Each structure stands twice: as structure tokens, then as C-alpha cells.
A and B are shown apart, each in its own frame.
Chain A
Amino acid sequence: MSIKAEEISALIKQQLANYHDELKVDEVGTVTYVGDGIARATGLDNALAGELLEFDDGTLGMAQNLESNDVGIVILGSYQEIREGDSVKRTGRIMEVPVGDQLIGRVVNPLGQAIDGLGEIKVDKTRPVEKKAPGVMQRKSVSEPLQTGIKAIDALVPIGRGQRELVIGDRKTGKTSVAIDTIINQKDQNMICIYVAIGQKESTVRSQVETLRSYGAMDYTIVVSAGPSSPAPLLWLAPYSGAAMGEEFMYNGKHVLIIYDDLTKQADAYRELSLILRRPPGREAYPGDVFYLHSRLLERAAKLSDELGGGSMTALPFIETKAGDVSAYIPTNVISITDGQIFLDSNNFYSGIRPAIDAGTSVSRVGGAAQIKAMKKVSGTLRLDLASYRELESFAQFGSDLDAATQAKLNRGRRTVEVLKQPLHEPLVVEKQVLILYALTHGFLDTVPVDDIMRYQGELFAFFDNNHKELLDSIKETGVLPDTAKLDKAISDFAESFQPVSTK
């Protein structure tokens, strides 16, 4: 590298010519208390709620409690260097994060700074982290499907673009896997994904990112991560930062999927900082506005009207329950905010039904509006089949003498459960989901041994890819079922060639 002295001096000359000698006027306060991510300061009489403040060492803070003679400040960053008696400066700005295309493929902290070691992110736009959600007239009802690629979800609890669907379950029931598989399936679906990891172990986030990268999913994904070692204010801020980044795309007419993994930890972080700010504790020691904390965040997910470009932001908030207790404070709050929930059951998970979706308690309030016609048709009876199977299953354990109708129901139920199983990181395109569910609901699987169903499915897809591609393509393009006679014929042809291994 060679440095030309003339160039530099020309640059300095240019800068000096435009250099304004202006007096810097700042309003300052004095820190009277620091600890646990919180500072209090006197002075700052004109500070605004949510305003960014700057400490002597350059650390930023956010004004939270405005009281008669002091201001409660949450410190965004390290608070080891801040001392009592230091000064705090008003900046006149409110909290903003960088937004834009440059963030895609990157891993950032809640302040929008890169933490993936790939260098600084140069953006020219920022957005305030707290923004009012779109109002009634700015919205449109949810109509397009968001394909998760997971059979059990797309068939039973369909998610639409702009919907908010809660994913809830105990620890270790595969919640994060649902998120990762959904992101992987968004490839070529014109979707930008934002994965907000709140209080997730750094090692987990790292392996998640590696998985996404190996499936090529980082090309359309932003990961926002606030690890367990970050101070509580950053954990609290992370979902809002993610939402701000998503809104930028949504208001530009694009489709966004945002995953908050998980909001329980965010509520805990908020509880921590509220208690240190001496706000009165309420139920389970959460502050009074913990409902608003989540409702204002999830309300920002929307399907925008055509005048605003028709963009959408779909939110998948995650909640971790303790021992399946959905009636705790935070789970009930978030259940009531969202448009439905996917309940993951640990019993299902350990008995090998993965994804461990509990069909009975999982619902989607948007429902059929977010499904293609073909899928609506084949999945119509699925929920009923599963419900009657669960009911009979416990009966059937007692005796073996069952009438034929009951036997048939049990048979169908066992096969339905088997079909809805799906291996990790293998999302399925919608036409193939329709195909296997069609085969199931039209009785083609009733004669196939349960243990052979996975293999049957794989070979059926291969058979259709090779011999009847046009049928799959027609589902994909028109969204309706093709001529059922042709479809039946094709499946029968395949069934004849299929060799079951097991005899059960």
C-alpha cells in the first residue's frame, strides 16, 4: 500500500475549509447510582422517555424512569467503567438500529453491530426500535400461506403471511428445530427471515447459524443474538431491534418471517430490570406492563394493505413452559395476543413423534384462509381422524375384541400419526405434502404396514418425480387438486410395485 502525501493533504485541506467552529452545548446529569445494568442520574431535567444518553466512557443508555428528581437509565452495554459522579449527556436521539439489505446473512447484536467477525456492517439507514404498529386501515386480512415445510403444521395449523403464531412447549421439545426448518423451507419463497435469539447459549446460536449456512439459508436470513452473558437490557431490547429490521423490509413490500426465540427469557430480563428500577412487582414478580411488553411487539407483525405495498411480517414467538403448564402468567398472556398456537408436547417427543405437535391443543385462528385449496381438501378430516384415534387408543389398550369400524379407525389413526412424523431439516414442498396426505385420507396407506410408511412415502415421491411430474406441477401452479381419477391411478400403479418389508 502506498500513501500519497498530496492526496491526504488535499483531503485535509478540503475538510478544513468546511470545518465549522461551533460551540458544543450539552445537557448533562450526574450519576448517583450504578449497578446491575441500571444507573440513576440527577439533573437531565429535560430528558425524554426512551431517549439515548451517553456516559463519559461512550457507553449508551436509555432513559426509562423519569422521576421528580432523578432519571432511571438502562445501560446498553458494559457498566463496569461507569462510576458514581460521572456525567451523563443527553443526545436528543431515541434508540435506533441500522436496517437494510446489508444486514442479510449477518449475525448482529441487538444494537445492530456485527458479532460474526465478518467486519463492520455499512448501512445508510436506521429505524427507531420502538414504533407504533400499523393501524386498522393500513392492514389487510391474511390470505397467502407461509409454507413451513412441516406436514403437521401446514396441514393442521396453517400459518398465513402476516399472522402471529405462538410456538409453545417445554424445554427440549424441538421448538428451535421448528424455527430452523421453517427458515430452511423459505428458500426461493421470496421471504426474508429474522431469527432473534434471546438468551440462547452462544454455542447453540453458533451451531444454528452453521446449520442455516450449510442449507444456504443465510442468504436471506438475519440473526440477532443477545446471549445469556449480555446485560438484561440487551436481552429486553433484542426483539424490538429484530422487529425494526423486519419492518424496513415489510414497508418496502417484501415478506418477512421473524422468530423470537424465546420471549420467556425476554420477560425474565424485563422483570430483572424493572425490579432494579424499583417498579412495583405484580404477579410472578413481573411488572404491571409485561402484557404491553409483548402485545406491542407482536402487534407489529402485519399484512399491509395494497396501498402500502402489500408487504407482510409473520411472527413466530416462542414460549417455554415449565412441565407443560400453559396457565402460567407469560404463556396465557402470549396465547391471548397471538392468532393461535402450536403446542409441542414432551410425551410425544419422547415417544418418537417428531415434530412433537399436539394436534388437540394446537390451533390457528387464521386457518383455512392461509391454505391452498388442494391442501384444504386433503387435510379436512385429518384433525377429526387424530382426535378419534386418541380417544379410542386408550380404550383399545384394555381388550382385543374390537369391531371392524373401530379397527379401521385405529388403523387410520396410527398411519396418520406416522405420516405426520418428519425427520429434522427435511422440509417438504407443499405439492408433496398434498400427495402423501391425499394417499392417506383416500385409504391408500391402510394396507401398508405402519413401519413401512416412511419408506413408502420416500418411494412414492421418487415415483411421482420420475413418472408423474405433471401432476405435482399442476398442484404447485394452480393450487387445486388435479383430476382425481388420474391421481388415484398413479398411486395405485405405485402401490402395486411397492414391496412391504415388515408384515405388521
Chain B
Amino acid sequence: MKLNKTMIAHRYGSALFELAIEKDERQSIKDELTELQQVLVEEPKMMLLLTSKQIAKKDKQSFIKVLSDSASEVVKNLLEMLFDYDRIADLDVIIAEYFRLNDEYEKTVRATVTTAVALDEKQKANLESSFARVVGASKVVLEEKIDPDIIGGVILKSNNYIYDGSLKLKFARIKRMLLK
């Protein structure tokens, strides 16, 4: 059976992460992968080159070499292995899986905050600490989003859960209650 992308990401990602823990290089590998991810985003043509059928394998190999030259042993091996096994196209999801496992390890939770007006530093810190208490995390990383449509209040979205405390929803609720 053909493996799907999520399964590949999970297998390679967790193997990579376990190796990183064993070698005690968790943080340094994370930094390297962050760099790699940045390259992937900034140079969309790179992946095209690596997966193209029109380019000779040797040329691709030399390209991988350039990428992995300055990398640590583990990341170098990862790149070469993915290339040899024809999984290089899944590099982005494998990196994402590594970050997810790393967050889990550090008890870090990422969340998107939607508000009608921008939060100030104090409000943000307040929100972070109280949300960390709710989900039992030691660190919360918030990504801010501004949407005047919600009128007021906050919507927090994290890990498949929505915590909706917006005025828009409350008005809708009052409307439904009065119409009943």
C-alpha cells in the first residue's frame, strides 16, 4: 500500500527526533531545520529541481551536497537518505513533524489569537499565562490576527480546538435567545 504524506511525516519525523534526543542535539538540529525550512519557503524552485525527472540524478546529488555541506552529521544523513529513498518531496512535512514533537517535548503550545484590535504587551502576556494554565503547557506561543468582524473579545484557536469568547458569537446567542 502506498504510504500517505502524514504517515511518512510521522515515521521520519519521530525517528529523527528520537535520534536527536539520543545524541543530545535537539536544539541545534532544530535551528538547522529552521534554516532549511526558510530556504524551502524562499526558494520554491529548489524542490522543483530536486523532484524533476528532467534533471540527472548526479546533478541533483551534487545539489544536495551543497545543501548538506555545512550541516551537522544528522541533518546531512537525513537529506541524503531522503534523496536516496525518493522521499525528498516530503521534507517540509517531516520538518513540521519534528517541530511538533519538539513543542510537545518542551510543553509548548502554539495558538492563533484573533481580536478586533491589536493586543498590547500586557494583555498578551496575561493571555499567554492564563491559556498556559488552561492547557497545562509551560510555554505558549501566540500568533496574532486582527479581524474587526468579531467586534470585540478574543478567539483562540489551537490544536483543533476553538475557544470562542468573541462578541460576535455572544450577540448571535442573544439574538437566538430572544427570537425563541
Q: A and B from one assembly?
A: yes
- Chain A positions near chain B (C-beta within 8 angstroms): 11-12, 15, 19, 21, 23-29, 43-45, 68-69, 87, 89
User: What residues of A have a CB within 8 angstroms of the CB of B160 in the complex?
Assistant: 27-29, 43-45
User: CA–CA, A27 to B170, complex, Å?
Assistant: 18
CB contact under 8 A between A21 and B170, given known A12-B178, A15-B177, A15-B178? yes
- B178 near A24: Cβ-Cβ < 8 Å: no
User: CA–CA, A45 to B4, complex, Å?
Assistant: 18
| Interface residue? B162 (CB, 8 A) | yes
User: CA–CA, A19 to B176, complex, Å?
Assistant: 13
- B162 near A25: Cβ-Cβ < 8 Å: yes
User: CA–CA, A43 to B158, complex, Å?
Assistant: 11
**Min C-beta distance of A74 to chain B, whole Å:** 21
Sample of 20 A–B contacts (CB below 8 Å): A11-B178, A15-B177, A15-B178, A19-B177, A23-B163, A23-B165, A24-B162, A24-B164, A24-B169, A25-B161, A25-B164, A26-B161, A26-B162, A27-B160, A27-B161, A27-B162, A28-B160, A44-B160, A68-B6, A87-B162
- Chain B positions near chain A (C-beta within 8 angstroms): 4, 6-7, 160-165, 169-170, 174, 177-178
Of chain B, the residue at the smallest CB distance from A15 is: B177
User: What residues of B have a CB within 8 angstroms of the CB of A11 in the complex?
Assistant: 178
User: CA–CA, A15 to B165, complex, Å?
Assistant: 19
Of chain B, the residue at the smallest CB distance from A19 is: B174
User: CA–CA, A170 to B109, complex, Å?
Assistant: 63
Count A-B contacts at CB 8 Å: 40
User: CA–CA, A45 to B159, complex, Å?
Assistant: 10
User: CA–CA, A303 to B151, complex, Å?
Assistant: 58
User: CA–CA, A25 to B134, complex, Å?
Assistant: 12
User: What residues of A have a CB within 8 angstroms of the CB of B170 in the complex?
Assistant: 21
User: CA–CA, A19 to B169, complex, Å?
Assistant: 14
- A23 near B174: Cβ-Cβ < 8 Å: no
User: What residues of A have a CB within 8 angstroms of the CB of B7 in the complex?
Assistant: 68-69
User: What residues of A have a CB within 8 angstroms of the CB of B174 in the complex?
Assistant: 15, 19
Of chain A, the residue at the smallest CB distance from B155 is: A24
User: CA–CA, A89 to B169, complex, Å?
Assistant: 15
User: What residues of B have a CB within 8 angstroms of the CB of A15 in the complex?
Assistant: 174, 177-178
User: CA–CA, A175 to B30, complex, Å?
Assistant: 71
User: What residues of A have a CB within 8 angstroms of the CB of B178 in the complex?
Assistant: 11-12, 15
User: What residues of A have a CB within 8 angstroms of the CB of B163 in the complex?
Assistant: 23-25
- B177 near A26: Cβ-Cβ < 8 Å: no
User: CA–CA, A26 to B162, complex, Å?
Assistant: 5
User: CA–CA, A24 to B178, complex, Å?
Assistant: 19
**Min C-beta distance of A160 to chain B, whole Å:** 45
User: CA–CA, A45 to B162, complex, Å?
Assistant: 14
Of chain A, the residue at the smallest CB distance from B4 is: A69
User: What residues of A have a CB within 8 angstroms of the CB of B6 in the complex?
Assistant: 68-69
**Min C-beta distance of A63 to chain B, whole Å:** 14
**Min C-beta distance of B164 to chain A, whole Å:** 4
Of chain B, the residue at the smallest CB distance from A43 is: B160
User: CA–CA, A89 to B161, complex, Å?
Assistant: 9
User: CA–CA, A87 to B162, complex, Å?
Assistant: 11
User: CA–CA, A45 to B165, complex, Å?
Assistant: 23
User: What residues of A have a CB within 8 angstroms of the CB of B161 in the complex?
Assistant: 25-28
- A24 near B165: Cβ-Cβ < 8 Å: yes
**Min C-beta distance of A172 to chain B, whole Å:** 47
User: What residues of B have a CB within 8 angstroms of the CB of A89 in the complex?
Assistant: 162
Of chain B, the residue at the smallest CB distance from A28 is: B162
**Min C-beta distance of A13 to chain B, whole Å:** 12
User: What residues of B have a CB within 8 angstroms of the CB of A19 in the complex?
Assistant: 174, 177
**Min C-beta distance of B80 to chain A, whole Å:** 28
User: CA–CA, A69 to B165, complex, Å?
Assistant: 29
**Min C-beta distance of B13 to chain A, whole Å:** 14
User: CA–CA, A406 to B161, complex, Å?
Assistant: 82
User: CA–CA, A11 to B179, complex, Å?
Assistant: 11
User: What residues of B have a CB within 8 angstroms of the CB of A68 in the complex?
Assistant: 6-7
User: CA–CA, A266 to B68, complex, Å?
Assistant: 59
User: What residues of A have a CB within 8 angstroms of the CB of B162 in the complex?
Assistant: 24-28, 87, 89
User: What residues of A have a CB within 8 angstroms of the CB of B169 in the complex?
Assistant: 24
**Min C-beta distance of A465 to chain B, whole Å:** 56
**Min C-beta distance of B136 to chain A, whole Å:** 15
Shortest Cβ-Cβ A-B pairs, 3 listed: A43-B160, A24-B164, A69-B6
